[in-house]
Amino acid sequence: MRTAIVTAVIVFAGCGEEHRSITLRLGPDDQTISQGFKCLEEVGATALAARGYTATGPNRGDFVANLVVDFIVLDGVPSCRGEEILAWCGDHACEPAIEQVRFCARVELLDMTLDEIINNTRLPEIYADLRDAGPITTDAPDGPVIVRAVATTQSCAQLQAVGGVYPAFDRTALIGCAYSCPLLLDEVDGDVQLSFDAIGICRLPEVEICAGDLNP
Amino acid sequence: VYDRGVVRILGIAAIAVVAACGAARPPVGLTVIVDGAGADRARDGVAHRGLDGFVVRAVAPPPIVADPPDPIASILATARAAYQDRGDFAACRAAVDPIDVPSLLAVGKREQAARVLVWRTACAWSGLARADARATAALVGQYGLDLPSDAGAVIPEVEAALLDVIEKAAKIERVPLKVAGNSGGRVVLDGKPTGCTLPCTLDVARGDHVVAIEADGKTPAWRVVRAPAKAAIEIPLARASPAEAGAQWRARIARGLPAIDDTGLELVAHAAGDVRVAYVDADGKRVRGALVVDGAVKARGTRDDGDITGLLGDLTRRGGLVAPTPLVKQPRFWIVLGAGVAAAAAITALVVYEPEIITEVGF
């Protein structure tokens, strides 16, 4: 009897928490960055990524941006199609879960060409910078969420919550955005890939919708 | 409708309360016979502590009763002295003639009966009452008695006559004698156990015989019967007195029979003179006992903890004298129920339990 009680206590104590780990990918795999980070200005052919790029020499320069990751709370589970997500968030309050500190990491790529971002050649360095910033969260929300990453030239300090509300992203500072399918992070087994629904060339307004909590 | 419903509910509640509480039963008497090595102290303990619901009377088992003084031996000594020392055969006959020989045979005193008959024969012979002497001598053979040592003290003619009747008795025609009566009664013929129990048929010499019946719990009875008889002999037995029952219980133990088999318990309970009797053997740490109600053994029990009061509680419960403790009032019930509920809760918790998942998200 005593043995059974001790065993039960040990089992309960040991099973009190189950720890899992999810790796976030900024594209369909760890070698590719999402289309959402390759969008162009509203008009013209300039990539939004150029907003974080500072030329340092002929055809060379430094790229500096901040990547903000949010968990958009859905209050339900829409399908993964872009149109349906937008429709859902048009009818529901899709708002970022308020964390104590919003994940915001500086990405700094020195001595590069702008095409290198487009061509994914500097992706390992981006991931290295992001990993150095620590985990996005140590305890993901329990309910259904969309994981969204926004690249911006705004500072991290500017983007932290004030009075329990995150400030809106500045459209003039936006560089890119991507998001995941609606999911329950506690039930995810493996990586979470971010993507961006766009047929053809994507431009600033679409990025703005993504950064605007997916509410058109 | 509302009033009728209220009345019905109140009625059911009242019945439930009465049923649950029950009318308190007045205490009833219980005689507890405490036997064994530690009987005296145990008896005091039982009397002091008592037993819920009973007026307990703690008593000792029936005592061993000493045999009363036997007058026959002195009468025979008187007769012998009159015969041998003074030749006063009238005094001799006056001494031995009143003795009822069949009653001696009925209680198994065959040697005394034989001695009485020898002296009665000798005194009658020497007193010139030869016919009486021959008739008396014939009884020695009729009852199948052995010649006692006293026969050597009488004149040779008498001794020869006695030997002659014994010899002739062996040649008397044998006839069946049917004896009926209480089943299990033991038959004693001419003071000699026959080994048969009723109903049975004896093979006896033609003529008069003393047939006695003994049975546990009954007063022994006897009759002189003449064989052959037209019908079965039946001797009704009366219920033994408590003193007789106690003596029979002691006699059984003396014969090596168990003290507390069913018959022994019925005897000892009858000896106690109560309707409800518990017998407890407090011999050492282990106590054992039985309960007899209205002459029938109702329960037996043993405890290794030496708790006589506990044993009496067990016996009275099992014997139906007290209602068993309701389940809800037994601590064991609540312990088992609690354990069951705890086990069910634990199993349910194990089945439905889902640990909290802590998911870390990073690059």
The radius of gyration of chain A's CA atoms, rounded to the nearest angstrom, is: 19
- Could A192 and B360 be called an inter-chain contact, meaning their C-beta atoms sit closer than 8 Å? no
Of A16, A24, A140, nearest to B355 by CB-CB distance is A16
pLDDT at B1 (0 to 100):
43
Whole-angstrom distance, CA of residue A159 vs CA of residue A139 = 21
Q: List the one residue out of A194, A200, A212 whose CA is nearest residue A37.
A: A194
- Could B361 and A22 be called an inter-chain contact, meaning their C-beta atoms sit closer than 8 Å? yes
- Could B356 and A16 be called an inter-chain contact, meaning their C-beta atoms sit closer than 8 Å? yes
DSSP state of B82: I
The pLDDT tens digits of the residues spanning A20-56 come to: 999 999 999 888 999 999 999 999 999 999 999 999 9
Determine the residue of chain B that is closest to A147 in CA distance: B361
Q: pLDDT-based confidence at A8, cuts 50/70/90?
A: low
Whole-angstrom distance, CA of residue B255 vs CA of residue B253 = 5
User: Is A131 near chain B, with CB under 8 Å?
Assistant: yes
Distance from CA of B336 to the nearest CA of A (A): 13
Position A147 pLDDT exceeds 80: yes
Helix (H, G, I), strand (E, B) or coil at B6: helix
Residue type, B14: A
Of A11, A17, A140, nearest to B361 by CB-CB distance is A140
> What residues in B contact A23, CB-CB < 8 Å?
362-363
- Could A12 and B363 be called an inter-chain contact, meaning their C-beta atoms sit closer than 8 Å? no
Which residues on chain B place their C-beta less than 8 Å from a C-beta of chain A?
346, 349-350, 353, 355-363
Helix (H, G, I), strand (E, B) or coil at B85: helix
Which ranges of chain B have pLDDT less than 70?
Answer: 1-7, 9-25
Selected residue of A6, A7, A19, A131 to mutate for chain B interface (largest B Cβ count, 10 A): A19
> What residues in A contact B349, CB-CB < 8 Å?
12
B362 touches A139 (CB < 8 A): no
- B27 is written with which tokens? 């205490």
CA end-to-end span of chain B, whole Å?
A: 74
pLDDT at B161 (0 to 100):
86
Question: If phi over 0 gives left and psi between -120 and 50 gives alpha, with beta otherwise, what is residue B275?
Answer: alpha
Whole-angstrom distance, CA of residue B291 vs CA of residue B54 = 14
Distance from CA of B356 to the nearest CA of A (A): 5
Q: List the one residue out of A103, A152, A109, A156 whose CA is nearest residue A128.
A: A109
pLDDT at A133 (0 to 100):
92
- B245 is written with which tokens? 């029952």
A167 touches A174 (CB < 8 A): no
Distance from CA of A23 to the nearest CA of B (A): 5
Position A105 pLDDT exceeds 60: yes
- Could B360 and A186 be called an inter-chain contact, meaning their C-beta atoms sit closer than 8 Å? no
The chain-wide mean pLDDT, for chain A, equals 88
> What residues in A contact B353, CB-CB < 8 Å?
12, 15
Distance from CA of B360 to the nearest CA of A (A): 4
A140 touches A70 (CB < 8 A): no
CA atoms within 13 Å, Cβ hemisphere of B178: 5
CA dist A206 → A80, A159, B108 (Å): 17, 20, 130
Give all strands (DSSP E) within B63-220, no chain letters.
174-180, 186-189, 192-197, 200-205, 207-214, 218-219
Q: List the one residue out of A180, A178, A160 whose CA is nearest residue A169.
A: A160
> What residues in A contact B363, CB-CB < 8 Å?
23-24, 127, 130-131, 136
Strand order in the sheet with B28-35: B54-59, B28-35, B276-281, B287-293, B296-303
- A59 is written with which tokens? 């055809």
A101 by Cβ neighbours in 10 Å (0-12 / 13-18 / 19+) ranks as: exposed
Q: List the one residue out of B274, B285, B279 whose CA is nearest residue B263.
A: B279
Position A92 pLDDT exceeds 60: yes
What is the average per-residue pLDDT within A67-93? 90
Position A1 pLDDT exceeds 70: no
Sign, CA torsion B40/B45/B51/B54: positive
> What residues in A contact B357, CB-CB < 8 Å?
17-20, 142, 186
- Could A140 and B355 be called an inter-chain contact, meaning their C-beta atoms sit closer than 8 Å? no
Of A11, A127, A139, nearest to B359 by CB-CB distance is A139
C-alpha B265: how far from chain center: 7
- Could B357 and A20 be called an inter-chain contact, meaning their C-beta atoms sit closer than 8 Å? yes
> What residues in B contact A22, CB-CB < 8 Å?
359-362
Of A15, A130, A185, nearest to B363 by CB-CB distance is A130
> What residues in B contact A131, CB-CB < 8 Å?
362-363
Whole-angstrom distance, CA of residue A71 vs CA of residue A144 = 9
B282 touches B39 (CB < 8 A): yes
Distance from CA of B332 to the nearest CA of A (A): 17
Of B356, B357, B361, nearest to A136 by CB-CB distance is B361
> What residues in A contact B342, CB-CB < 8 Å?
none
- Could A22 and B359 be called an inter-chain contact, meaning their C-beta atoms sit closer than 8 Å? yes
Distance from CA of B333 to the nearest CA of A (A): 18
Whole-angstrom distance, CA of residue A125 vs CA of residue A128 = 5
pLDDT at A4 (0 to 100):
59
Q: List the one residue out of A172, A180, A175, A185 whose CA is nearest residue A142.
A: A185
